Structure 1
Amino acid sequence: MSNAIKATKITFKKIESEWYNYHNTLKEIARLREEIMNPFDEEPEDTNIVKGAASVRVPGDPTARMATRLTTSKQLNYLNEIVEAIDRVYNALPDNYKELVRIKYWSNKDLTWDVIAEELYVNRSTAIRWRNEIVQATIELLGWR
C-alpha cells in the first residue's frame, strides 16, 4: 500500500493552476518584497514639531523591523512555499518531463493533449501520466490533500 496522499480534484486543479502561474507568482513575490522593504509611510512627519536634545527618541532598528516583516508576511511565506515546491519538483524531473512543463504550463498556449504528446513524441496517455506524476509530486511536497 502506498503512502501517497490521495489528492482531491480541487487540490489537483489548484496545483495545476500554480504551475500555470509560476512566473506570475515570482513577480508577485518580488512585488511583495519591494513593498515590505520600502513601505509607504502613511504619516508624514509633522514639521511644526521641534525636537530638541532632551526629546524622547525611540531608538530604531530598521533592518530588524524589515527582516521581521519579511519573515512574518503570511502571503509572502505562502507564495515562497509554492515556488520552492515547484522549483524542487521541476529540478528533479527528467528532461522529457521538463519539456512537458514548458509546453503545457509555461508556453502560454492552449494546446490539446494530442498536440502536446505529438511535440513530445509520446502517446497522449503517456503525456497525461507524466502530468499526473508532476502534480502528485508537488502535492506530496507541499503536504496538501
Structure 2
Amino acid sequence: MHKLGAEVIICDIDAEKLRDMEEEIKTFACDVSDSTAVDTMFQQIENYGLDILVNNAGIAGPTKLIENITDDEWRDCMAVCIDSQFYCTRRAVPIFKKQQNGVIINLISGAGIMGYPTRSPYVAAKWAVTGLTKSLAMELGPDKKE
C-alpha cells in the first residue's frame, strides 16, 4: 500500500522490528492485546487519520492436547488473536462513522474455517474472528442492522 502512495501506520509489540521502517512510514510499538495500549495508540492515530484498519496480530499458541493447555496459554492466545481485533475495531469504528468511510480487514488463517488437532486455542480464536467479521459486516455494512 505504501508503494502505491498510501500513508501507512504499522504497529507491532516489538519496537525493534519497527525501527527499520520508521523513515518511510509511521510506526507504533503497541501490545494490541492490551486495551489501554490500543486506546493510547488510537489517540495518536486520530491525529493522522484512518481509512483502512488491517487486523493482523496473531500468535500460534500452544500445540498441545486440550487437557494439557494452561489457563495462561489459552488467555494469551485469545488476547492476541481475537481480543486485539476487538480492541482495534472498537476504536476504529467511531473514526470511520465520523468520516462516513472506512474499511476493516480481519485476517485469519485456514484455522478460521476448519479445525486442527492440538491447536484448540488458535482455532477457537480464528473462528471467533470469522464470527466477529460476519457480525461487523451486518452491523456496519451497506445493509446494516442495528
Same fold (TM > 0.5) = no
Instruction: Compare the two structures and name the one with the higher helix fraction.
Output: 1
Instruction: Compare the two structures and name the one with the higher strand fraction.
Output: 2
**TM-score between the two structures when normalised by the length of structure 2:** 0.26
**TM-score between the two structures when normalised by the length of structure 1:** 0.26
